[in-house]
Amino acid sequence: MSLIDRKFEMETLVNGTNSNIKQRRLENPYPWTCIVQARRIGHSVLETPDLGRQLDYYTDLLGFSLVDRQRKDAFLASRSGQLAIHIRQGDAAHCSALSFEVAPDTDFTAVARDLKNAGVDSDLASDPAPGISGSLTLLDPKGTRIELFKSWDAVGDLSRVTGVAPLKMGHIAFSVPEIHKVVDFYKQVLGFRESDWIEDYFAFLRCNKDHHTVNFLKGRTGRMHHIAFELLDASHIMRAADLLGQNRIKVIWGPGRHSVGHNLFLYHRDPDDHIIEFYAELDQMADEALGYFEARPWHFEKPQWPRVWLQEESMTWGLPPLPDFRRQREQG
């Protein structure tokens, strides 16, 4: 079945005049096949019309370590020593690229051949970013550049921790016009798995034990919806909230706990108006053969299988988001 032709099948329950999406488990085949298996999300490339302003926010408030600064580029690392953010001077604020780590024995020449056979162009690049000696680049269906790398060196100043100091960039979400085409691309080309859906408009995909690494929300533009950074625990999230308050940055949603992924969360906007999520306690898929997420006290279902959620059950606790959060979806 082609990437374009596959349709997401939903069952419906009809009761009088009410029609609801039927709650059901998602079936993920095991084992599975793909062109190349993504193992971990690396860094994102965020273009900005004001490099200095974004750099101040990500270093002073978020606490990322500046690895390298050039005239139009700044590379930032997390407290774990991994490259997390590449800020690039550009005409408009948007996410232009993502990187994913693959197995160290991956043959990029063979992968490029398989991609070409699937109708996907790719190119090899040398020294694309600090700590990364080489990559294979391609475009996903919405036009985001994907950079695959198979080795990395620790970067950044690990001796001092300031600001929020996230552990890593954990996941990223995009609004996409053709959600099923994009989901199929990430599954069939990069080996992602479906963790959950909210009805038929919001997909959560994983490439390792983390519940989701990329999210796709049905929309019009193909723009980034939000980017998320993992914190240690609930107390770390509250400390982050205090830092936001001290800097007069408004929290637009949270704290709370999602039902989809069951993570604690806190959202705000960065100076370029991107939604930023801080999260902790994300569901874990420890064993793909078993196929369910590790049990947690806050799970209503035991075992907690990948499934389709109704919109009204997508929160475990917390208040609804402010209108400023919903603005992102209204804009597409």
pLDDT digits (tens, 9 = 90+) for 150-159: 999 989 887 7
- The closest of 240, 232, 200, 239 to 216, measured between CA atoms, is 200
For 272-296, the pLDDT digits (tens) are 999 999 999 999 999 999 999 999 9
Instruction: Give the pLDDT score at 328.
Output: 65
SS3 195: strand
CATH ID of 168-330, from 3.10.20.30, 3.40.50.620, 3.10.180.10, 3.40.630.30: 3.10.180.10
Instruction: Give the pLDDT score at 9.
Output: 47
Instruction: Give the pLDDT score at 15.
Output: 38
**% of the chain exceeding 70 in pLDDT:** 92
Cα 15 to its chain centre, rounded Å, is 36
- Total number of residues shown for the chain: 332
Please check whether the two domains, 40-149 and 168-330, share a CATH topology: yes
Amino acid letter, 268: H
Cα 184 to its chain centre, rounded Å, is 16
- The closest of 2, 179, 312 to 194, measured between CA atoms, is 179
Domain 40-149 has CATH 3.40.50.1970: no
Instruction: Give the pLDDT score at 146.
Output: 98
Domain limits, the chain: 40-149, 168-330
Low-confidence ranges of the chain (pLDDT < 50): 1-19, 21-22
> Number of helices (H) and strands (E), helices first, in the chain?
5, 20
* Run of H or E residues at 292: none
